[in-house]
């Protein structure tokens, strides 16, 4: 398995299965892993504000017997007098692992290229692998399998769409992305997902018709229409994304047992209606909880195993 956790596409289905199985064990018996990272320190770099990522990684390291150090924009000199490579070279002399939540994906790749300790992707503008690993755990808990299920993502072809395409296709799911014109996912990500799906028995559908994407879906997923750093585009996006809101009418195209997912924060009345987000099919807070368990599995595997 890779020594960093940068993208789901870096992993095989067997790799992801090991993480999911370990996360299940940790969730069932967290005390058995209470010393897995004893004496170890995780540096957490944040260029973006964070609730779930910051708290889940901090609590996760604490529950594993280690500690986490938070480094916000005012604490670290990325691109402000110190190169990314120099920052990484210094940090890895002090800590046992680095988790970074950054804007530019290339900055994360540059960190990992220099770092002598594991680097974990807490989110970039290109992908969000820790979130999707938690999503896969949640889907399996709710629907008892992954392979063969249809996962429909509706909205911007953004970092979430990229990681869902990667993770879902690797695990043999049928992944459909319904996006407004001009907001398609990255063509290279789609091409790789199609190759992975063909190998695993799944499929990939990219369409500008949300009803086509959702038809017979087992999982319906959306994300905010305007992410951090895109505030200037908010009005245009609100207009362009009309018709892509997950509401009861659109959800009606999915299977009766379909679950609704959102990586949060969610905006009721925009990308999802309140009745869906707060309804019986919604598993959004189970997703949020599972961030803790899968990230602990990542920390145990990447950091704890070396002791």
- Of 125, 137, 156, 263, the catalytic one is 263
Q: Which one of 4, 52, 101, 174 is the catalytic residue?
A: 101
Q: Which of 194, 291, 293, 301 is catalytic?
A: 291
Catalytic-residue membership of 101: yes
In the residue annotation, 145 being an active-site residue is answered as no
Question: Is position 223 annotated as part of the catalytic site?
Answer: yes
Cis peptide before 265 (omega within 30 of 0): yes
Tokens of 77: 């000199």
Contact 273, 295 (CB under 8 A): no
- CB-based contacts of 3-6 (< 8 A; 24+ apart in sequence): 3/118, 3/302, 4/112, 4/115, 4/118, 4/119, 4/120, 4/121, 4/302, 5/118, 5/119, 5/120, 5/121, 5/129, 5/130, 5/298, 5/302, 6/108, 6/109, 6/112, 6/119, 6/121, 6/129
Catalytic residue among 223, 237, 262, 301: 223
Cβ(110)–Cβ(54) below 8 Å: no
Residue 194 among the catalytic residues:
no
Q: Closest by alpha carbon to 174, among 208, 150, 143, 138?
A: 150
Q: Answer yes or no: 263 catalytic.
A: yes
Annotated active-site residue 240? The verdict is no
CB 180 within 8 A of CB 163: no
How is the chain split among helix, strand and coil, in percent rounded to 5?
A: 45, 15, 35
Q: In which order are the strands placed within the sheet that holds 67-71? A: 67-71, 41-46, 97-101, 119-123
CA 113, CA 152: separation in Å to the nearest integer? Answer: 34
Looking at 128, 194, 237, 301, which residue is catalytic? 128
User: Residues with catalytic annotation?
Assistant: 101, 128, 131, 223, 263, 291
């Amino acid at each position: 398995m890779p020594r960093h956790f940068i993208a789901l596409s870096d992993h095989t289905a067997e790799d992801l299965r090991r993480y999911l199985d370990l996360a299940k064990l940790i969730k069932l018996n967290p005390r058995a892993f209470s010393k897995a990272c004893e004496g170890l320190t995780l540096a957490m770099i944040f260029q973006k504000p964070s609730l779930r990522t910051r708290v889940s990684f901090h609590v996760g390291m604490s529950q594993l017997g280690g500690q986490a150090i938070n480094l916000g924009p005012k604490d670290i000199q990325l691109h402000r007098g110190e190169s990314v490579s120099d920052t990484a070279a210094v940090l890895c002399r002090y800590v046992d692992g680095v988790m970074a939540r950054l804007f530019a994906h290339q900055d994360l790749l540059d960190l990992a290229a220099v770092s002598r300790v594991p680097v974990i992707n807490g989110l970039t503008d290109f992908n969000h692998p820790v979130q999707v690993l938690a999503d896969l755990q949640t889907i399996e808990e709710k629907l008892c399998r992954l392979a063969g299920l249809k996962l429909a993502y509706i909205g911007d072809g953004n970092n979430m769409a990229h990681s869902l395409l990667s993770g879902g296709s690797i695990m043999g799911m049928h992944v459909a992305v319904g996006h407004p014109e001009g907001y398609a996912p990255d063509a290279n990500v789609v091409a790789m997902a199609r190759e992975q799906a063909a190998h695993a028995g799944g499929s990939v559908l990219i369409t500008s018709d949300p009803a086509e994407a959702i038809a017979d879906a087992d999982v319906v997923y959306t994300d905010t229409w305007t992410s951090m750093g895109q505030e200037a585009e908010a009005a245009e996006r609100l207009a362009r994304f009309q018709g892509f809101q997950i509401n009861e009418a659109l959800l009606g195209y999915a299977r009766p047992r379909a679950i609704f997912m959102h990586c949060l924060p969610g905006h009721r009345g925009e990308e999802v209606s309140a009745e869906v987000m707060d309804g019986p099919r919604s598993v959004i807070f189970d997703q949020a909880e599972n961030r803790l368990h899968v990230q602990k599995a990542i920390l145990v595997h990447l950091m704890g195993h070396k002791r």
